[in-house]
Amino acid sequence: MTNLGPIQAPLPEALTTFLAACAAAIGAGHVSVSAVDLADWSLCTFPWSGHPLAVLSPGTAEEAVACLRLAGLHGCPLHPVSRGRSWGLGSRRPPRDAVILDLSRLNRIIDIDATSGTVRVEPGVTFSQLQDELTAREIPFHVPSFGGPPSASVLANALDRGEGSGAFGDRFGQLWDLDVGLTTGERLRTGYGRFENARLAPVHGRPVGPLIEGLFSQASFGCVLSGCLGLAPTAQHGCYIAFEIGLSDKLPAFVEAFTGLIRDRVVDYHDAFFWDGAKQIASAGIAADLTQPPPPRAYEEWLATISISANHAMILDCKKAIVIQTLLPFCSSFTIDEDGEPGSRNSGLRGFSDGGNVTSCYWAKPALPDGPLNPDRDRCGFLWLCPVIPLDGVALARMAQLTQAAARQFDIFIMAGAEAATERACHGYVSFAWDRDVPGADAKAMAAHAMLMEAFTREGFHPYRPTLPATAAAAPSQGDWAAVVRRLRHALDPAGVLATGRVADL
């Protein structure tokens, strides 16, 4: 029943029965309780107590539904994982002990509508796989780029409300018609795909009646087997403009001027990123490679990167001129990166994700390893906090102050940034980097994370994406939210076995 390798301690009888049933459904070679495999699936960028009990690797959506049904029937905890690249959020580890449902073999690009610019993908499809397919077929659309690894799952990132650059950067907002499997054995489509004539499924996501896609985002109600994603039109021309702002006290005036550009539709809100000096320094390399440490002030200075794109060079030039004229009075300097040749697909503005931000996970390590980077395998300490911040310079400066105070108190490297997510709010990116091989470093990092999370909560900067520690320590919700959500979860997952602990209050 198992893959090759030494077997861990004897399994409980109920789990053994469940795994035997799964082996009959998906093949014995795709069920593993190997100690080697489980150790690999236990790797994480921070200490965590949840462990994988076994690994199931279905090869089709039908096989995945069979595993879900069997989990509900046998009362076995099950934790779906698409690609396991959510480094700093939880990697592949389950919130609590559970069998892993590895969906990486479900890696089909099911359909591309080249006219409407939509694509249906399974959870195993990666950013690089999708972008390569769109490029090879010369389709004039792209999936908005992001800073994570190109080997990450497009669908999982959208369901977890990750975002990319540009007007289509709200990936979950561009996701519809989900194909969902439940632990009851039921399977449903949330959009027009549920009708016999499904002509509208790839072009419109909001059929008459209740919209239930939100129940399967950052939740444990069902397992999404595929989804339709709206792609961004690929512009011919683009550039990045980086503005050096200064210390956080300069942020209010700069952000106020920038919000005027959004209101005037010169730029889109997903076109703006704010970074502190720590993030800027880490993006260039790791601490061990610096010839000399930067002065403390360098870590606390802020910059903003504004991306601009257009299909006509004259429109791009006009936008550049307006942005520079508007923001120059509130910064010390700026630089322009023309971002490659016109029409080049090797560009972040046209969907190319190079994974460069993964290097920041290695900030405290003695050296970068040879070969592909894998922060789990390489014992990087890395952890996110993802607060929502009002799109207001005073609020952004307050986030900077709290972050810098935590870095000084715990003597740990913390990077902070934010992306304008709407006309009114930013998504904050606060990350902690340390070396897990240094004695005591884990405990110090987790203490700093807990303190800063509590400080953000007091400010009302609540999170928009979950990390395992933040979910476990979340304050109880007010009102009847938790009671209602529990009833919804019980209706869809009566046995309560799917990704338990993924949502606070559940």
**Rounded to whole angstroms, how far apart are CA atoms 250 and 393?**
8
CATH 3.30.465.10: does it fit domain 13-102? no
Extract long-range pairs of 283-287: CB within 8 Å, 24+ residues apart. Answer: 283/356, 283/357, 283/359, 283/360, 285/359, 286/359, 286/362, 286/363, 286/364, 286/365, 286/367, 286/368, 287/363, 287/364, 287/413
The pLDDT score that the predictor gives to residue 282 is 92
Sequence-distant (6+) residues with CB within 8 A of 181 are 61, 64, 65, 68, 187, 222, 223, 225
What are the extents of the domains in the chain? 13-102, 109-233, 237-467
The pLDDT score that the predictor gives to residue 371 is 86
The pLDDT score that the predictor gives to residue 348 is 80
Q: What is the CATH number of domain 237-467?
A: 3.40.462.10
Name which residue leads in pLDDT, 402 or 348.
402
The pLDDT score that the predictor gives to residue 72 is 96
* Residues 65-85 pLDDT 10s: 999 999 999 999 999 999 999
* Residues 302-338 pLDDT 10s: 999 999 999 999 999 999 999 999 999 999 999 998 7
Burial of 482 (0-12, 13-18, 19+ CB in 10 A): middle
pLDDT reading at 10 higher than 60: no
Sequence-distant (6+) residues with CB within 8 A of 67 are 22, 25, 26, 56, 58, 78, 101
**Rounded to whole angstroms, how far apart are CA atoms 142 and 3?**
38
Q: What is the dihedral of CA 207, 213, 215, 216, to 10 degrees?
A: 150
Domain 109-233 -> CATH class: alpha beta
pLDDT reading at 11 higher than 80: no
CA distances for 99 relative to 29, 81, 233, 348, angstroms? 16, 10, 40, 37
Mean pLDDT of 23-35: 97
The pLDDT score that the predictor gives to residue 390 is 97
* Residue tagged 């999936």 (tokens): 143
The pLDDT score that the predictor gives to residue 132 is 93
